[in-house]
Amino acid sequence: MQKPNIRPKPVKAISLADQVENNLIEYLNNNNLKAGDPLPKETELAEYLGVSRNVVREALSRLRMLGMIESKKRKGMVLSEPDLLSGVERVLYPNILSEESMKDIFELRLVLEVGMADLIFARLTEESIKSLEDIANREARDPGTNKLKTRLKYEISFHSKLYEMTGNNTLKRFQSMLLPVFNYMMEVESTLEHKPESGKISHFDLIETLKTGTPSNFRKNMREHLTPHYDRL
């Protein structure tokens, strides 16, 4: 007799809270509701969905965390513009994440910094270049750059400014969320034998490229600047 072609139970065990959550998100999306639109009361939702208010609140609690809804004491709940990154934010703790995830994030950074050249060029201003120069000059004059921590400070400062210059707030916020992750990886890296810092392209070189070069030049130079990190792949 042949084995029955049944996979050993998906073992879903989807809780009511899960179902209600999906249900609500679908509802919000399908009805084309916009920020500011009011939602039914908790008790109404509970009754309509045939579950306890408790379950509804667990689902709502999740949406509230993501910024999708806001609740006010007597007014009720309203839909609001969700925060793209607040869901990622809570998860980005190096101690909790796996090596695999950390690697993915690390690579993501390299991809972003090389890829964002066109955005930077499209929104280039005199002031922003000035800011970059200030940072690079302070770095050059600082006698403490033989210490990892000091180098890291300027490195972060410089690159953060570049993210800011893309004019893309999501990108910028994402980068600031990633900083703890990189600090963590840099500390790990610093225990290794080879120093992970000096590429052939300096911050001054990058600034010069912004002034007189093209996005393509900049990508190439940024890639070169990040070579010590790319070598880890």
Partner DNA sequence: ATATGTAATTATGTAGTACATATATGGCAA
Partner DNA sequence: TTGCCATATATGTACTACATAATTACATAT
CA–CA distance, 220 with 206 (Å, rounded to integer): 10
In the list its own copies, DNA, none, the entry touching 87 (Cβ below 5 to 8 angstroms by class) is its own copies
- Region of residue 42 (phi > 0: left; psi between -120 and 50: alpha; otherwise: beta): alpha
> Are 87 and 69 a contacting pair, CB within 8 Å?
no
Site string for its own copies, 141-180 (x = CB under 8 A): -------------------------x-xxxx---------
Q: For residue 65, which amino acid is it?
A: M
3-class secondary structure per residue, 59-122: HHHHHHHCCCEEEECCCEEEECCCCCCHHHHCCCCCCCCCHHHHHHHHHHHHHHHHHCHHHHHH
In the list its own copies, DNA, none, the entry touching 107 (Cβ below 5 to 8 angstroms by class) is its own copies
Output the smallest distance, CB 107 to its own copies, in A: 5
Site string for DNA, 74-93 (x = CB under 7 A): xxxx----------------
By CB under 8 A, name the binding residues for its own copies.
Answer: 17, 21, 25, 28-29, 32-35, 54, 57-59, 61-62, 65-68, 79, 81-93, 95-98, 100-101, 104-105, 107-108, 110-119, 122, 166, 168-171, 215-216, 219-220, 223, 230, 233
